[in-house]
Amino acid sequence: MQTYLLALNPTDSVISGFLPAAGRLGLAVTLLTDQPTAYGPPGSLGPDVEVAACDVRDHHAVITHISRRGRPAAVFTNSDHLQTQGALAAEFFGLPGKSWHATLRTKDKALMRRHLAATGAEPVRAVEILPGQSPDACVEAGGVPYPCVVKPREGVASEDVVRADDPAALLRLCAEIRTRRPDAALVVEELLPGELYTLETLGDGRHLHVLGGFHTRLSPPPHFMEERLTYVPGHPAPVREQILARLTALGVGFGACHTEFVVHEGRARIIEVNYRAIGDQCDLLLADLLDIPLFDHILATHLGEPLPEDLGARTDRAARVDSPCADRAGVLTSAPGASDRTEGDVRLTYRPLRPTGERHPLHRTNRDYLGILRTIGPDQHAVDRAADEFLAAQRWEITP
């Protein structure tokens, strides 16, 4: 069965998750990308994976490319940037897929806030700032209080997401972002108090499975880098139902979804909805932790197959993901290599993300990650002890 996978740069989710799953399902994959050379020479991804150049940000180009070979079995993407393009292509060919209305609502943060407010599901004071508009005037007119958070309307990975404590800081931060994104619309919204969590879901359009979530530790203000995610097998029922109601209001319920939210005094409020599987190797950890063919299930929904009523997920283990980060710009001169180790009942998997010898600026995003440690064990205490000991024994040296 011919399946099209839309992608930008290579990711662990695609290379280590979805492509192996496609092989297990017997799918012939054409990977459409605007960065074909990044995936290596022909045949690098296996005999059943073809890499083809395409302007994947343009849904017309995607549909035209696919149409040259006839109707495929599925069109799929796990990219934040390409969900609407993938949904439109799937709809064009009459294939199972996400609603493009829902993908657009969740990708566009201003549209998401307006939609949730209009449905009465969750009012959050927020304003959209277009290029050329005055940030402080827009914020004052919209009644957004300080402190507030400024972010690109269609941004990802906490890039250029920053806290502003007063009008002067807002003007300065928006000006800085404009030097990098002169044509991007921004969103400024009230700072929502509370601890940060995620909810991971998997649906086939009829039934929605909750896979648990994570409790996220962030870097100190004013930035919002995710430094550690600790698995939460089940959020309190009132919290879970609040978030599921928001997802229903947005039209989310097909395939994988990664939702970030805060909880304060029992009230859950959405930060953002990423209508895809969680990344940064947390999806790889989920598949191992729950002991389910997660990536196979996600692809199967796009083939029109119903999900099992019971996924058979394990519930007897704990886990966390740590992401050591660069704290300065410079050259990584010393760092640990990849390792897989078992200490008693605890399994640790470390993968470096940045090779030594390369110079990098400081981004204040996940592009500063030096590596990712995935730890799975019988209980949280054992997981925390093993992960803390591993990280304490490693050295990452950056030379300015």
Segments of the chain assigned to CATH 3.40.50.20: 2-95
Q: Which of 137-146, 150-159, 238-247 has the highest mean pLDDT?
A: 238-247
Fold of 195-399: D-amino Acid Aminotransferase; Chain A, domain 1 (3.30.470)
Map residue 235 onto helix, strand or coil. coil
Map residue 337 onto helix, strand or coil. coil
Q: What is the dihedral sign for C-alpha 32, 37, 38, 44? A: positive
CATH number of 2-95: 3.40.50.20
Instruction: Please state whether the predicted TM-score (pTM) of the whole model is above 0.85.
Output: yes
* Percent of the chain whose predicted confidence (pLDDT) is above 90: 92
Residues, the chain, total?
400
Strand 2-7 and strand 28-33: the pairing is parallel
Cα–Cα nearest to 61, from 127, 114, 116, 4: 4
Q: Is the pLDDT of residue 341 over 90?
A: yes
H/E stretch holding 129: strand 126-129
CA atoms of 379 and 203, how far apart (whole Å): 28
Cα–Cα nearest to 204, from 277, 88, 90, 307: 307
Q: Is the pLDDT of residue 364 over 90?
A: no
pLDDT band at 141 (very low <50, low <70, confident <90, very high): confident
Q: Are 46 and 19 in contact (CB under 8 A)?
A: yes
Map residue 392 onto helix, strand or coil. helix
Strand 126-129 and strand 186-190: the pairing is antiparallel
pLDDT at 122: 81
Q: Is the pLDDT of residue 366 over 90?
A: no
CA atoms of 124 and 111, how far apart (whole Å): 12
H/E stretch holding 270: strand 267-274
Q: Is the pLDDT of residue 365 over 90?
A: no
In single-letter form, the type of residue at position 391 comes to L
Q: Is the pLDDT of residue 319 over 90?
A: yes
Segments of the chain assigned to CATH 3.30.470.20: 195-399
Map residue 12 onto helix, strand or coil. helix
Q: Is the pLDDT of residue 158 over 90?
A: no
Segments of the chain assigned to CATH 3.30.1490.20: 125-190
Q: Which tokens belong to 201?
A: 């879901």
CATH number of 125-190: 3.30.1490.20
In single-letter form, the type of residue at position 244 comes to L
Q: Is the pLDDT of residue 261 over 90?
A: yes
CA atoms of 61 and 9, how far apart (whole Å): 18
Map residue 319 onto helix, strand or coil. strand
pLDDT at 258: 98
Instruction: Report, as an integer, the average pLDDT of 278-297.
Output: 98
Instruction: Report, as an integer, the average pLDDT of 311-331.
Output: 97
Q: Is the pLDDT of residue 238 over 90?
A: yes
In single-letter form, the type of residue at position 247 comes to L
**Tens digit of pLDDT for each residue in 384-396?**
999 999 999 999 9
